[in-house]
Amino acid sequence: MATEPGSAVSHLRADDTLHYQILSQRQLIWRKFRRHRVAYFCLVFLCLFYLLAIFAEFFAPYGAFTRDTNFLYAPPTPIHFVDADGVFHVRPFVYKITNELDLETFQRHYVEDKDELFFIEFFIRAEPYRLLGFIETDIHFFGVPEEAAFFLAGTDGLGRDLFSRMLLGARTSLFVGLLGLAIGFVLGLIFGGISGYYGGSADMLIQRMIEFLQSLPTLPLWMALSALVPPDWTPIQVYFGISLVLASVGWTGLARVVRGKLISLREEDYVLAAKLAGLKEHAIIMRHLLPGFLSYLIVHLTLAIPHMILGETALSFLGLGIQPPAVSLGTLLQDSQNVQTVTINPWLLYPGAVVVVIVIAFNFLGDGLRDAADPYKHI
C-alpha cells in the first residue's frame, strides 16, 4: 500500500479483520503527545490559564485599581462550608471581616465575625468594566455582596485585591512573551536560514554579530536596552518596547541551530532535486529544509515563552520594564522587595508562585512535544 510522506499505517484488528488507517504526520504527533499525560495536562492547564487571562475582568471579583482602605494587607479570606453552629451549606460562604489594632505592635489583625455570613454568588453584578476592551458589562464570575469583603489571595498595601491584579497582570506578562517570541522566532529563522543556506561572507557577518550579542551579559543588556524606552510612553507603548527588547537577544540561539541544520541538509538529494525543478531558494528553505527539524522548532517555541515571561518579570521587578499603574506579574512582585513586609504578609509572593507554575508547565509541555515530534520515537 502506498502512503504519503510523513504518514504511517496503523493496524487495527476487530472481529479477526485487519483494517488499515493512514495517519498524517500531524495526526501521529497528536496521538503520541496525548500519551504523555503530564504534558497533556500542562497543555490543558495553560489553555485554561490563557482563557482566564484574556477574560480577566470577568473572572476577577474586583478591578485592578479598586481600593478598600479598611483592608490594607488583609490576608486571604477563608472559604467555609460549615458555619459556627456546625450546619453544612452546599454553597460556599465567607464571614464578615473586621480588623482590630494591636496597641502593642501597632499592627492590624483581621478576624472573622461569625455572627454574619455571606454566600459566594456566581454571575454577580458588581463593578462595571469593558470586556475585551469594548463590551460594557458589570457581570463578574463570582463575588460577594457589597457589604462583605472577599479577597481570595489577600490585599496589598493599598487595599487592592491581589487575586484580581494577578489575573490582569498575568495577561500582560503572558502576551508580552508571545509577542517577543514571535519577533525573535522570525529573526532566528531569517538570519539562521541566510547564514546556513548561503554561507560565505553573509554567514561570517551574521555569526560575528551573534557571537557579539551572546558575549554580552543578558540581564545588563536588557537593562541597557530598556533604559532607552522614553519615560513618557503610555503603558501600551512600553508593552511593545519591552517586546522588542526581549526579542533583540532572544533569536541568537535559534539562529545558530537553524544554521547548523541547514548546513547538514542543504546537500541532500531532495534539495538538489528541488533546485533542478526550478524551485526558488526561499521556497526550498521553507518547504523542504525547515520541516526537517520541526521537532526542535516546536520545543524551542515552548521553552522560549517562559524565558520571555521571566525576562519581563525581571525587568519590571527591577523597575526597568512595565511600570505602575500598568499591571504585570513583575510589577506585582515589586511589593515583595521589602523582606520585612513579605515576612509579615507572605501572600505578596503569590505572583512569583504563578510565574513558577507557568514556567514549569511550559517546560513539561516542551518535553512532551519534543517526544511527540521525534520521528525516531515509536507510536
Give the domains, in start order, of the chain with CATH numbers.
1-25 (no CATH), 77-150 (no CATH), 165-373 (1.10.3720.10)
Q: Provide the pLDDT for residue 5.
A: 47
Q: Provide the pLDDT for residue 44.
A: 93
**Residue 88 backbone phi and psi in degrees, to 5:** -85, 135
| Structural contact between residues 75 and 110, judged by C-beta atoms closer than 8 angstroms | yes
Whole-number Å distance between alpha carbons of 182 and 243: 9
Q: What string of pLDDT tens digits covers the 379 residues of the chain?
A: 444 444 455 444 444 555 556 766 677 778 888 888 898 999 999 999 999 989 989 999 998 888 888 888 888 989 989 888 888 888 899 988 888 777 776 677 888 888 888 899 999 888 888 888 788 888 999 988 888 888 988 888 888 999 999 998 888 888 876 777 888 888 888 888 888 878 788 889 988 888 888 887 777 777 777 777 777 777 767 777 777 777 777 788 888 888 888 887 777 777 778 778 877 777 777 777 777 777 777 777 777 888 778 777 777 777 777 777 778 888 888 877 777 777 888 888 898 889 889 889 988 888 888 777 765 555 4
Q: Provide the pLDDT for residue 45.
A: 93
Q: Provide the pLDDT for residue 83.
A: 84
Whole-number Å distance between alpha carbons of 349 and 173: 16
* Distance in Å from the first CA to the final CA of the chain: 20
| Structural contact between residues 321 and 235, judged by C-beta atoms closer than 8 angstroms | no
Q: Provide the pLDDT for residue 163.
A: 92
Q: Provide the pLDDT for residue 20.
A: 59
Q: Give the burial class of 155: count Cβ atoms within 10 A of its Cβ; 0-12 exposed, 13-18 middle, 19 or more buried.
A: buried
Q: Provide the pLDDT for residue 218.
A: 72
Pairing type for strands 88-101 and 80-82 reads: antiparallel
Whole-number Å distance between alpha carbons of 160 and 147: 16
Whole-number Å distance between alpha carbons of 30 and 23: 10
Whole-number Å distance between alpha carbons of 347 and 153: 7
Q: pTM value?
A: 0.78
Q: Provide the pLDDT for residue 41.
A: 93
